[in-house]
Amino acid sequence: MSITLPQNYRPTEREPFMNPMQQEYFRQKLLKWKGELIEESNQTLQNMQEESLAQPDLADRATAETDRSLELRTRDRFRKLISKIDQAMKSIEEGTYGYCEETGEPISLKRLEARPIATLSVEAQERHERMERTRRDEA
């Protein structure tokens, strides 16, 4: 089933949660984000291949190595985000997208708009972060 969204469509609280239009909206949002990440990742890879690490100056080489390390970390972050986007896309297909993994309650549209890969409601995320801080502080 293919759904065409009206131009400038935005999900609202007035419509049923995760109705087909909302699902399509978030599917398109995730696909667009994934495309941007892949494009940026490819550009980073191209830049790394074009850079020459055979620079005569030691300081220039050190700077180039630092830049390369930063770009590799960024690529790894993109890879993890793309994996989360793929998981979100799968949850849309399965009909579980937008529901908190911990409580089963709907995640607010505002939160999904800001972070479409969110799997926890704001409240569940805050609880999770408090528990993480407590574990870190005890260690």
pLDDT by position in tens, the chain (length 139)? 579 999 999 999 999 999 999 999 999 999 999 999 999 888 877 776 666 555 667 777 777 778 788 888 888 999 999 999 999 999 999 999 999 999 999 999 999 999 999 999 999 999 999 999 998 888 7
Please give the Cα distance from 110 to 67 (Å, whole number). Answer: 35
CA atoms within 13 A on the CB side of 10: 7
* 99 in Cβ contact with 80 (< 8 Å): no
The model carries a pTM of 0.83
Report the C-alpha gap between 12 and 54 in whole angstroms.
55
Confidence at residue 74, expressed as pLDDT on a 0 to 100 scale:
87
